[in-house]
Chains A and B, each alone.
Chain A
């Protein structure tokens, strides 16, 4: 497939995933703040930090409040990672590969964009919960439509790989920022607030129910275990890296465990470390250190994907002449 098309499908999926994550972060935060009187204003700055755009935010708004944080993260066109900007970029990418994806995918993407665009014009935030749920649903619908209408070939794998790398990155960020804010409350394990706060963290990753089934009681270490190392939870970093690797192997045709280029090498190596990682080691060396390092390496995988697949150099890839018939 064309490199440009692969690039667009990859980014289209990353942007949709990003929008969904931002929507979930806001929604979880909003509800947590409602449960804890007086905490509202303290909760929004960390959320901005989660997205990594705190410097831009400070420049545009200064102090974080509920209103300006939601505005910045949802509708602000000056924020390239606001939900609006993400969905818009996803659609621009989708528009440039309309002929490649299925009509159903395009229609889902376009309706998603029109929904956000209408909301951005009206800006009625009366029902924030429903609005953010709609965004998450639209993202899930897009993934579902993609899975059931597009060939699970090269393009589909590029899309899924993009989505998985994005999701892995977002889960590490969420955990990194929230964990250290919540940590002091470890002393109060078992208190009502504690459960609410940690519960909100899990909800930010749509992980609350699945965590309960797996580990039962709220326990910060087990939460880290679940969000980072679980092999079956679809937003756990380990799961995301496994799935991304499967897609990568399908794209290149390399057998699992081998590599033919830098992208495969860096992703495979990262995954292997996750496969053999233990919670004890992670805490021994410091969770922050570990998450930070993981983010850096996910970024490096992204850069290698860009380099290997999306900007092929004529001189490095000798043309294979087709046999004349």
Chain B
């Protein structure tokens, strides 16, 4: 199996430079793969897929039969991030989440940023993620968004941009951990030699952060993970995280509010819950505060929360800063609260509610990516260069009818990585979703994150619901680790 015929086709490639030479740090891996006997890599790819299936690491596809579980397609060639690049990303992500957190707290309390006309008041209050019941809330430590999964992309020049801030219930971290486990089994020697930063302590850090939120002064706070149930597409992740943290996984029916406290129903009666890592949307949490038709919710939960009887991660209402319209203002938000320039840039964004922007968007639809501000998962999107005239016409109509709900961005030449296609490698576009934990003491960025791959040739949509897969992401240690020779010396181990 060799990379000989691999062509970067003019895109920025995560493993090779434009001359076809491996990036620093990637050479060891390339040598290793080039040295494998024919079909060995395919064999390992198959073994990895079988392992994922046996472990039941699957997701449910909405709209398909209840029985159809799929493994999240996994490609065996890892993506490598240099330590120098990572240092910048880490600083940039911390800066961004700090500022966004200030913004959320401000919006639900003093609203200074609106009074100072930095972000249009109307835009914020009309955002889909704005929750009236959250006005005046003071979450513990002033932190609203404890767990974030920011989507990053790289363009043709190799520069990173923030594509989306996922501030509600970002998913995917379990795949990071499972992918890593599979890769350690598959390439132990390369792994060791490349000196890859570990990701395995994520569950411990998550638990520590959650325990730190406990409102009651108890020695061993009861933390739970709240899932909508086994038919949720991210159910595997919910149960995986609960298992790795060693805490109960609860459904709405397991919880109840009793004398002002949130309790869970156990075989020995009711037991108090201190911290809830909820993986359920704001809307469904409490039929008394949010959607009254929610069957999954716990009546009275918000009241207990606002009285400080229980902690929620993330706090309700964080979606207001996750709105794609608000996204356009994040550089200003960073500047307003921190007095700093953004370390990682936003993708240039045209806001269709601004007359000039809208006109430009309507005139250049075939070049742009248009997104509905309240959709995610790759739905409600127009990828200009891949669209038909009829689709563009349809979107033009929608934009004119509801300018507030659309933004547009230039079509980025997303960076690519080699993926294994039958008996050779082909380049596919990727993004990167690192995970950030915002605790009372410190902010932690998981070194690595989920690299999502658009497996369809030429496609720019990486979402799992739209034919995306994933790869392990190796953030290298600064020192570089051992020399290539020492790893190559052991032929059997690999």
Contact = CB atoms under 8 A, between A and B. Distances in A.
Interface string A134-151: 000000000000000000
A78 interface: no
Contacts of A103: 55, 243
Interface string A285-310: 00000000000000000000000011
Nearest to B241: A99
Contact of A324 (B216, B240, B242): B216
Interface in B342-362: none
Contacts of A107: 54-56
B218 A3 contact: no
Contact of A110 (B56, B216, B249, B256): B56
Interface string B256-276: 101101011111011010000
A229 B160 CA distance: 74
Contacts of B254: 2-4
Contact of A2 (B217, B229, B265, B272): B265
Secondary structure at the B interface, as helix, strand, loop or mixed, is: mixed
Contacts of B300: none
Interface stretch (A36-44, A90-98, A123-131, A233-241): A90-98
Interface stretch (A64-72, A180-188, A313-321): A313-321
Interface string A56-88: 000000000000000000000000000000000
From A4, A309, A321, A325, residue with most partner B Cβ within 10 Å = A4
Interface in B269-288: 269-270, 272
A6 interface: yes
Contacts of A95: 56, 230, 235, 239
B267 A114 contact: no
A2 B225 CA distance: 13
Interface in B203-246: 216-219, 225, 229-230, 235, 239-243
Contact of A154 (B55, B225, B267): B267
A309 B219 contact: no
A314 B298 CA distance: 14
A251 interface: yes
Given A2-B264, A314-B256, A96 B230 contact: yes
Contacts of A322: 218, 272
Contact of B251 (A4, A100, A110): A4
A3 B7 CA distance: 57
Contacts of A192: none
B248 interface: yes
Contacts of A19: none
Given A2-B264, A92-B230, A107-B55, A312 B269 contact: yes
A1 B264 CA distance: 9
B218 A324 contact: yes
B217 A114 contact: no
B253 interface: yes
Interface in B172-191: none
B266 A2 contact: yes
Nearest to B243: A99
A59 to B, nearest CB: 24
A216 B54 CA distance: 44
Contacts of B266: 1-3, 312
A111 interface: yes
A318 B270 CA distance: 7
A158 B265 CA distance: 16
Contact of B242 (A1, A6, A99, A325): A99
B242 A318 contact: no
A98 B267 contact: no
Nearest to A322: B272
B272 A100 contact: no
A1 B267 contact: yes
B173 to A, nearest CB: 15
Contacts of A310: 267
A309 B267 contact: yes
Contacts of B248: 1-2, 5, 99-100
A285 B339 CA distance: 91
A314 B250 contact: no
B113 to A, nearest CB: 38
B421 interface: no
A198 interface: no
A312 B256 CA distance: 12
Contacts of A318: 269
Interface string A223-263: 00000000000000000000000000001000000000000
Contacts of B241: 99
From B53, B235, B248, B267, residue with most partner A Cβ within 10 Å = B267
Contacts of A156: none
A274 interface: no
A111 B51 CA distance: 10
Contacts of A2: 248, 250, 254, 264-267
A325 B218 contact: yes
Contacts of A114: 53-54
B259 A319 contact: yes
A55 B225 CA distance: 43
A15 interface: no
A108 B291 CA distance: 40
Given A110-B55, A309-B267, A312-B265, A99 B249 contact: yes
A181 B261 CA distance: 60
Contacts of A97: 249
A25 interface: no
Contacts of B218: 322, 324-325
Nearest to A251: B267
A106 interface: yes
Contacts of B229: 96
A98 B54 contact: no
From A92, A310, A320, residue with most partner B Cβ within 10 Å = A320
Contacts of A320: 269-270
Nearest to A323: B218
A3 B271 CA distance: 11
Contacts of A154: 267
B267 A312 contact: yes
A3 B265 contact: yes
B267 A6 contact: yes
A312 B264 CA distance: 11
B368 to A, nearest CB: 42
Interface in A2-55: 2-6
8 contacts: A1-B248, A2-B266, A95-B235, A96-B239, A100-B248, A312-B270, A320-B270, A322-B272
Given A2-B248, A2-B266, A318-B269, 12 more contacts: A2-B267, A3-B265, A98-B239, A106-B55, A107-B56, A312-B266, A312-B269, A314-B265, A319-B259, A319-B263, A320-B270, A324-B216
Interface of B: 53-56, 216-219, 225, 229-230, 235, 239-243, 247-251, 253-254, 256, 258-259, 261, 263-267, 269-270, 272
Interface of A: 1-6, 92, 95-100, 103, 106-107, 110-111, 114, 154, 158, 251, 309-310, 312, 314, 317-322, 324-325
- Of all A-B residue pairs in the complex, the 7 with the closest CB atoms, nearest first, are A99-B243, A99-B242, A317-B269, A98-B239, A319-B270, A99-B239, A110-B56
